[in-house]
Amino acid sequence: MLHDNFEHDVGTLTQGMGFQTKEQILDALNRYRITNHCTYKTTHLNTTRLMMQCVQQVCPWKCQTILRTRNQVWEIKKVEGVDTCATQLITQDHKHPGSRIILQHVRQMVESNPSTPIATIISSIHTSIEYNTSYRKVWLAKKQVIEDVYKNWEQSYNRLSCLLQAMQTYLSRFVYELKTNPITNGEEGLQNQ
């Protein structure tokens, strides 16, 4: 059974679960860790094998994953024990903040509505994975997603004159005047449109 998105049951890791990439299995392990309030360490990692165990020596929890080279699928080979030292709540200063998970969550929300407020995203993250993230972390993730999807301000500014010229070419009554003035770093900036 392949799991290639954020939608599978995040509270469960079972033997035989398959993922298309190493990043997806790492994301699944991080979501599991956050949902179940546990902390693990990587005991073995190479191009075909990933082994994790609880940071506490007395805890029996371990997870082994391998790359099935025939079909190029990362599979959970074994999950041993139950994490007996889980904390009740993942806090903002947790050792592994799950930034990739936060970024994925922000991406889903921003792609559907770019004007989604930061507070709404924070609340959604808390509801989904019971993680209290900071305003700054979500703001930075939202900024990155917006730049990935819509490009950054400098690129948009550089494309503006071409867009205005194209509009003037195809819209006979469209007239524009572009005025610029210098800004602090020596580049020109728009004054009026």
Cα separation, 46 vs 157, whole angstroms:
44
How far does Cα 37 stand from its chain's mean position?
19
Collect the ranges in the chain with pLDDT lower than 70. Answer: 1-11, 84-99, 129-130, 183-193
pLDDT at res. 126? 79
Tokens of 171: 């819209």
| Structural contact between residues 54 and 37, judged by C-beta atoms closer than 8 angstroms | no
Q: What whole-number distance in Å separates Cα of residue 23 and Cα of residue 54? A: 20
Structure pTM? 0.49
